[in-house]
Structure 1
C-alpha cells in the first residue's frame, strides 16, 4: 500500500541566524502536491525479497532511517524536494506481498515520471530494482521506437540469480526477461562485483546477457579513468538511465547496516565519482538507494553514507536537469 508522507519524520538543526544560506533538508522538503516540480522522494519499505534470499532482514526500516539522516543535510543548491510517501509491503492473499509492492512501485513511479518529476527511491531491499525499472518502462512504453534504457548498478552482486520465486537476488534477471518480452535490448552495467560473492553461473549469465561489469578490486581511485571510460562508452549507447546503488557495494566498515556486508567493497570516494558522473549525465530518469538496514547499522554509519549519496544525487541531478532541459 502507498502511505502518504509523514512530515513529522523530517527534523534537524535550525540555524536561524544564518538566514536562507543556512537551510537544511528538513526545512525545504514538502509533501508531494499536484503542482510539484523537482525531486520526488519515494520510500520502498520492503525486505520480503531479502527474506526470500535468506539475507538479514530489516531493510524495510530503511526509508525512515534515510529520511532521518537526510533531514539535517545542508541545502547547497536551490532544490525543490517533495516527499511522495512510502510504499509499504504487507502480506496478502498470495503471501508476503512482494509482487504487489513491486507493481505498486512501478505504477507510482510511472505517475511521477509522467508529471515531469525526478524520482529518487529510498529502500528497502534490492528487490525494488524490478519495480523501479518497471516504472521507467511503463513511462516509456508508448514511444514509437524501443527506448534505449541503460541500467547502472553499483553492487557487489549481479542479482541475476535463477530461482523459483523473485527475491533481492533476482531483479536484473527479471528485468532482462521483461526486456526480451518487450523486444527491447537489455543494457546492464554492474560496478563493484565481487568475484567471491558471485558463482560461475552468475558470471556466465551476465556474459550471455551482454552485461558489462567491473570487479571491486578493479575500482580503485587511482584507476578511475578506466571506470570513467567504461561509463562514458556505456552512456553513449543509451537515451535513458536507471541508476541504482546497493549499499553493500561499500566496505563493511563504511556500510555495516546492509543485508550482506562486503569483505572488500569499493571505496566511497570512487562510488561518489561514479554518482557524480551519472547524475550529471543528463540521461538519468530514475535513481534508487537499496539495502539500508538500520537494524544492523553501527553509529548510523550506513544511514549517514546513504544520506550523503542521496543528497549528492539530488544536487547533481537537479543541476543537470536545468542544464539539459
Structure 2
C-alpha cells in the first residue's frame, strides 16, 4: 500500500524539460521520469528538493549567486540519458528570500524528513553550503534516526566549514551539527574528503581534531591514491546506518568547477569524486545528498552545473542498480 507524504515547500516544482529522441524506455532522459509535485505516493527511486539561499554565503562574505543553483542543476540534469527506467519526484523549493536563514533551515528539515520517511533517497539542490545544516535537521528528525540509527556525515569539500561565528553561515554548518548532536547526547560522526590546507586555518584543524573529525587532504586524493580513497570511503559507509553525503562543488578543480564562491587551486579530480559518490550510493543504506555552492553567475559554459548534475546522475543510477532493498 502506498503512503502519501506532504512535503512543505515555498515554491512548487516546475515541469522539467529536455531533448526528446522518441517514445519508449530506450530514449529515456531525466525529464521524462521526474514528476513535479509537492507530495504523493512513495517510495520513489529518486526525490529532489531545492534550497534557494544565498544568505549563508552573504554572511560568510562570499560571492553571492548560489540561490539560482537549484534551477541550474535541474536544467543540467534534465537532458541526461537514463540507463534504465525509474521513478522520481521533484517536491519544489524552500526559499530564503528575507534573510531568515534559521527559518529556512527548519522548513528544509521538514521537507527532507518527509521525503526520507517515504523510503526514497533524497537529493537536496543548493544553494550555499549552509544547505547542509537544513539537510541535517531533516535527517535528525527522520524515522530512521528516531529508531536509533547511527548517522554518518561525509563532506566532499576543500573546507571544514567548522567556523564558530556569531550567526550561522555557509562556513558553520558542521559545527552546528556537532553542537546539535551533543545536545542529543551523541558525538557527530563527521568526515571530510578533499580538505585543502591553505584554505583552512590552524584553528580550524584544531577544531576538527577536537571533534574527532576524520579527513583526507586534497593532496592525498589524486588518481594515484585510489586505494587510500577507497579505504576512507568504505570506512565511512561502514560507520553509519543513515548516510548524509554533502557535496560542495568547490572540492573539484577550478577548471572543472569555476562557478563556485571559492574556486579550488588544487582540488580533487572529478574521477575520484564520482568514484566516492558511486561507492556511497551503492551501499543501499538510507541516503541524503546535498549539492552546494553552484553559482551560475560565475560559471563558464555551464561546466560546474554539468559536473554537479553528473554526480547526482551517477549517485541515483548507481543506487537504482544496487542489489538489495531500496532505502
What TM-score do the two structures reach when normalised by structure 1? Answer: 0.94
Pick one of 181, 188, 191 that aligns with 1:186.
Answer: 188
SS in 1 for 2:258: coil
For the pair 1:54 / 2:61, whether they are aligned, the reply is yes
- Out of 67, 72, 75, the position equivalent to 1:68 is 75
Where do 1:182-221 residues align within 5 Å?
Answer: 182-221=184-223
* Offset at residue 235 of structure 1 (A): 2.4
Matching of residues 1-325 of structure 1 within 5 Å: 2-7=10-15, 10-16=16-22, 19-32=24-37, 33-38=39-44, 39-91=46-98, 96-140=99-143, 143=146, 145=148, 147-320=149-322, 322-323=324-325
* Cα 1:271–1:233 shift into 2, 3 Å: same
Find the aligned partners of 1:321 and 1:257 in 2 and give their Cα distance. Answer: 35
> What is the CA distance between 1:85 and its match in structure 2?
0.3
- Give the conservation status (yes or no) of the 8 Å contact 2:49–2:93: yes
Give deviations 1:21-75, integer Å, cap 9, x for gaps. Answer: 0111111111234113211110111110001000010000000111111111001
Give yes or no for contact 1:148–1:185 (8 Å, CA) kept in 2: no
1:239-275 deviations in whole A, cap 9, x for unaligned?
1110110000000110000011011100000001101
CA RMSD of aligned residues (A): 1.5
**Inter-partner Cα distance in structure 1 for 2:71 and 2:221:** 31
Structure 1: runs of 5+ lacking an equivalent: none
- 2:117–2:143 contact (8 Å) kept in structure 1: no
The TM-score normalised by the length of structure 2 is 0.93
Cα contact 2:11–2:93 (8 A) shared by 1: yes
The answer on whether the counterparts of 2:145 and 2:242 sit within 8 Å (CA) in structure 1 is no
- After the TM superposition, which parts of structure 1 deviate over 6 Å for at least 4 consecutive aligned residues? none
Query: Aligned partners of 1:290, 1:172: CA distance in 2, in Å?
Result: 14
Mapped contact 1:242–1:285 kept (Cα < 8 A): yes
CA distance in 1, matches of 2:120, 2:83: 20
Which stretch shifts more, 50-59 or 73-82?
73-82
Q: Which ranges of structure 2 fall in alignment gaps of 5 or more residues?
A: 1-8
Q: Aligned partners of 1:71, 1:320: CA distance in 2, in Å?
A: 22
Deviations 1:80-121 (CA, angstroms, capped at 9, x unpaired): 111100111121xxxx11111111000111111222222100
For residues 147 and 94 of structure 2, the distance between their equivalents in structure 1, rounded to whole angstroms, comes to: 31
How many residues align? The count is 317
What is the Cα deviation at residue 322 of structure 1? 4.9
